[in-house]
Structure 1
Amino acid sequence: MNKAIRLGLIGMIIASLSTTALAQIDLNHPHRSTADKVRDVTSKPLETIALMSIQEGMTVLDLLGGSGYFSELLSQQLGAKGKVLLHNNKAYMPFVGKDLEARLADGSLKNVVRYDREVDQLGLAENSLDAVFFVMGYHDMYHVSPGWKIDDKDLMGQIKKALKPNGLMLVIDHAAPIGSKLAQAQDNHRIDEEFVKTSLKGFGFEIVKQSDLLRNPADTRTNLVFDPAIRGKTDRFVFVVKNMKE
């Protein structure tokens, strides 16, 4: 099979998965906030979730999931027999706690479990996860501030152990210039995607999909991601990785 035909087939498969996600997730569900719907424009959640082949009944970890933007959508996709672990640590709470509580307040997201744990003590059982969403958080393993310091090997080791063999992890983050490695992780909350590829391989994951879905060539990749000029519109890389273990 030549390359053009192979790429065409891959495109058809992704399109089919996107159609499935569109059929199962309602972006206009009345429970969703206005802020979530605004974010949809740049986060493209249907297409993003479709990359992961999420099925009803799965257990998914939303690692450092903030207020639960993806958790609420996954809740629809997973159905009553599925479960989302919406994870945050104590240091993240001042930034997301109010919105997190508002999302979960009415108890309607019955398959979303608030999962407050420090990253060095996630307490996840071996082979208990079907998938992991790690969105805008990979760089945080290399950012240090008061109350915030993560051992990347320890965290990824816990995830690898908890994720089932061949289970998938979605990694999305703000892109830094190629070759910059960790130079922008501290001040600009960005990370070099080539560094991420290498580190993921070192942690025992294989990249099985890459997507340009969230690319923005107008982003110089050098601004602080919270700069009003670029916030919510950064150039982002998207990887799906498979857990390589017996």
Structure 2
Amino acid sequence: MFVKGERSASDLEQDVDRKGRQVLELVELKPGMVVADILGGGGYYSELIAEKIAPYGRVYLHNNQAYLPHVGKEVAARLKDNRLENVIRHDRETGDLAFIDQSLDMIFFILGYHDIYHVDKNWKIDRDDFIRQLKTALKPGGQLLIIDHSAPDGSGTKYSQDLHRIDKAYVIGELKQKGFKLIKESDLLVNDKDSREISPFHPDIRRKTDRFILLFQK
């Protein structure tokens, strides 16, 4: 149960391994900023961001139709009765994110970058266009925060389809090629005990994967 002004028991439990507040300390969120939480799932990060940019800032909690069957109930509960007044539900397909050009101060893309390399009958993303949309939506100097499950070094996107992981160096190279500048890395979520070769949903490693944190600037 979500209560206005209080975070859920589930979110507080996730804090232990996701370290959301510590992650937010790595970026310079300020009151009044406009932020997008891309493929933001149930909104764990959206709520933390909303607190930082209140009272006049806005967070767009984005999901697409493929995500909603898994997270829709959590999103609805989180936002019920206008509980988070500055969080806007933004259900859009990745081919048309519908953000105004140069309208966002920051984009959070948490544990989803590998999904742009996932392909099945109900899911295929035009990667170049998707990244272009993110870049176009950011203001000059705007920032893009990427957190994802680490794949073995040098593996590129080999593990993205089945194991929901991606090689950090590959992400850096791709986004640099698209015109982003890497301005910060953090080992806050590193876990050397993770083999990086099993699914993040495996009970032995769930929410304890080795994760990289990268901050880029437009």
- Work out whether the TM-score is over 0.5: yes
Match of 2:47 among 72, 75, 85: 72
Q: Does 1:170 align with 2:141?
A: no
Match of 1:93 among 63, 68, 74: 68
Q: Which moved more, 1:85-94 or 1:43-52?
A: 43-52
Determine the C-alpha separation between the residues in 1 that align with 2:12 and 2:202.
21
Which residue identity does 1:58 align to in structure 2?
M
1:4-43 aligned within 5 A: 31-43=6-18
Structure with larger Rg: 1
Q: Does 1:105 align with 2:80?
A: yes
Determine the C-alpha separation between the residues in 2 that align with 1:241 and 1:75.
21
Deviations 1:139-176 (A, max 9, x none): 00001123111111111100111101111111000000
Match of 1:189 among 136, 139, 164: 164
Determine the C-alpha separation between the residues in 2 that align with 1:227 and 1:108.
33
Which residue identity does 1:177 align to in structure 2?
P
Paired position in structure 2 for 1:54: 29
Unmatched 5+ residue regions in structure 1?
1-28
Q: Does 1:136 align with 2:121?
A: no
Determine the C-alpha separation between the residues in 2 that align with 1:82 and 1:187.
37
Deviation at residue 30 of structure 1 after TM alignment = 5.2
Which residue identity does 2:146 align to in structure 1?
V
Determine the C-alpha separation between the residues in 2 that align with 1:87 and 1:75.
14
Paired position in structure 1 for 2:102: 127
Which residue identity does 1:238 align to in structure 2?
I
Paired position in structure 1 for 2:183: 208
So what's the TM-score if we normalise by structure 2?
0.97
Unmatched 5+ residue regions in structure 2?
none
Paired position in structure 2 for 1:16: none
Paired position in structure 2 for 1:161: 136
Q: Which moved more, 1:232-241 or 1:98-107?
A: 98-107
Deviation at residue 204 of structure 1 after TM alignment = 1.1
Determine the C-alpha separation between the residues in 2 that align with 1:200 and 1:79.
30
- List, as ranges, runs of 4+ consecutive aligned residues in structure 1 with deviation greater than 6 Å: none
Determine the C-alpha separation between the residues in 2 that align with 1:157 and 1:30.
36
Determine the C-alpha separation between the residues in 1 that align with 2:217 and 2:134.
12
Determine the C-alpha separation between the residues in 2 that align with 1:134 and 1:101.
20
Deviation at residue 50 of structure 1 after TM alignment = 1.4
Residues matched between the structures, number: 216
Determine the C-alpha separation between the residues in 1 that align with 2:82 and 2:174.
38
So what's the TM-score if we normalise by structure 1?
0.86
Determine the C-alpha separation between the residues in 2 that align with 1:241 and 1:51.
12
3-state SS of the aligned residue for 2:72? Answer: helix
Deviation at residue 31 of structure 1 after TM alignment = 2.7
Which residue identity does 1:203 align to in structure 2?
K
Aligned-CA RMSD value? 1.2
- Decide which structure has greater helix share: 1
